[in-house]
Amino acid sequence: MKVVWNADNGRYADNPRALHEAWTARGGDGVDHLWLASSRQAATFPPGVATVPIGTPQAVAALEAADVLVSNTHIQLDRWRKRPGAVYLQTWHGTPLKRIHRDAAFQPPDDVMAELDDDIARWDLLVTPSAEGTRLLRAAFAYRGRVLETGYPRNDVLSAPDRAARRARVRAELGLAEGTTAVLYAPTYRDDEAAPGVDAPLGLDVGALARRLGDDAVVLLRLHHYMGHQSRPAGGGRVQDVGAYPDISDLYLAADVLVTDYSSSMFDFAVTGKPILVFAYDLAHYRDRLRGFTLDLEAEAPGPVLLDQEALTAALLDLPAVAAAQAGRYARFVQRFCALEDGRASERVLEALWAEGLPPG
């Protein structure tokens, strides 16, 4: 049996990574696993993981020969044809806070949208993190196929028995001393800033924030992988650029608070129960002109929505009181979006694949 994996168009990451690790941990013979890898990411794949360069004829041939395809995004390669009888498992890459696909205010050209719709038509199974996630993803993609409402495999580590040990290991790797408050800043991308060559300064002065927070805090900067061209502050000291860290789930465990904006990271981080602050410096532009939201952010986010850096800094300096004041809405958010995140999502997804008649080993 041949299984082809894709995450973020050529990375070893996200739900496919979690599923791949859970699958291969079971052992067994007769299964060939092959990952699509971008040239920039090929060196980051673990030893022993077979790859094929994405965007090449070899990649198209691999897709068309696969018995199982697992991806967390659209596969856009020369309008490849899925083999009859193959199973295409689409995990997607987050609960959509920002509107996506045909729900979004920002639309790509018609030919690109048609290619994306062609890919959606190939999906046999769609993994969703919650009943609300199912509703949102079905609506965005006009998807009428089968859904696996299991929770997200990438979040299993956040509830795993070894999560405390993993947190300690990652913090040690990052040089975070005992008692240091780790502030993870993980913003999403802006469609009008994502193209290479576009001047895209950070919306947050992370250096100034770190100085205000003092010696007992470190800001961990995790920019979206679409924003590799975005200007970054000098690393070291109380600001660390963790964009190259392999698995953001480890950073969720290491962090003590998440600062984000319109990223689906808030849905994942909420599994940890730790505070979340929403820094929405361009709220009106993003909400009203660029993307739009699937929920009322200011009323339903799991933490306060802060419109300027001074308000964000004040909230971080008074974090216990802010978290206590937000406890009710945080609990409602978790119940709505994270109730299935119990550490067993990978197991449920794989069992569903075996139910398709595929060999489990």
At 311-331, the pLDDT tens digits run: 999 999 999 999 999 999 999
The better pLDDT of the pair 71, 195 is held by 71
When the pLDDT of each residue in the chain is averaged and rounded to a whole number, the result is 93
pLDDT digits (tens, 9 = 90+) for 13-25: 999 999 999 999 9
Q: Is residue 140 part of a domain?
A: yes
**Are residue 292 and residue 236 in the same domain, yes or no?**
yes
Of all residues in the chain, what percent carry a pLDDT higher than 90?
81
**Are residue 306 and residue 173 in the same domain, yes or no?**
yes
Question: What's residue 230's pLDDT?
Answer: 65
Of all residues in the chain, what percent carry a pLDDT higher than 70?
96
Q: Is residue 15 part of a domain?
A: yes
Q: CA nearest 70: which of 154, 180, 158?
A: 154
Grouping H, G, I as helix, E, B as strand and the rest as coil, residue 357 is: coil
CA dihedral 327→328→331→335, nearest 10 degrees, is -170
Question: What's residue 79's pLDDT?
Answer: 74
**Are residue 245 and residue 138 in the same domain, yes or no?**
no
- Return the amino acid letter for 152: Y
CB of 303 within 8 A of CB of 277?
A: yes
User: Facing residues of 182 across strands?
Assistant: 218
pLDDT digits (tens, 9 = 90+) for 47-97: 999 999 999 999 999 999 999 999 999 998 777 999 999 999 999 999 999
H or E element in which residue 26 lies = none
**Are residue 170 and residue 243 in the same domain, yes or no?**
yes
CB of 9 within 8 A of CB of 63?
A: no
Question: What's residue 228's pLDDT?
Answer: 67
* pTM exceeds 0.85 for this model: yes
Q: What's the number of domains the chain is made of?
A: 2
Q: What's the rounded Cα separation, in Å, for the pair 79 and 211?
A: 50
**Are residue 287 and residue 306 in the same domain, yes or no?**
yes
Question: What's residue 236's pLDDT?
Answer: 64
**Are residue 138 and residue 175 in the same domain, yes or no?**
no
234 pLDDT more than 70: no
**Are residue 105 and residue 167 in the same domain, yes or no?**
no
Q: CA nearest 128: which of 345, 331, 350, 296?
A: 345
**Are residue 176 and residue 112 in the same domain, yes or no?**
no
Give mean pLDDT, residues 333-339: 98
pLDDT digits (tens, 9 = 90+) for 99-113: 999 888 777 888 889
207 pLDDT more than 80: yes
Q: Is residue 359 part of a domain?
A: no
Question: What's residue 191's pLDDT?
Answer: 80
Q: CA nearest 111: which of 76, 87, 152, 141?
A: 76
Domain containing 307 equals 161-337
**Are residue 20 and residue 134 in the same domain, yes or no?**
yes
**Are residue 248 and residue 137 in the same domain, yes or no?**
no
H or E element in which residue 118 lies = helix 110-122
Question: What's residue 104's pLDDT?
Answer: 81
Q: Is residue 360 part of a domain?
A: no
Give mean pLDDT, residues 153-160: 98
**Are residue 75 and residue 183 in the same domain, yes or no?**
no
Q: How confident is the model at residue 226 (pLDDT cuts 50, 70, 90)?
A: confident
Top mean pLDDT of 194-203, 225-234, 287-296 is at: 287-296
Question: What's residue 355's pLDDT?
Answer: 86
Q: Is residue 211 part of a domain?
A: yes
Q: Kindly report the backbone phi and psi dihedral angles of residue 126, in degrees, each rounded to the nearest multiple of 5, phi listed first.
A: -120, 120
Q: Kindly report the backbone phi and psi dihedral angles of residue 359, in degrees, each rounded to the nearest multiple of 5, phi listed first.
A: -70, 135
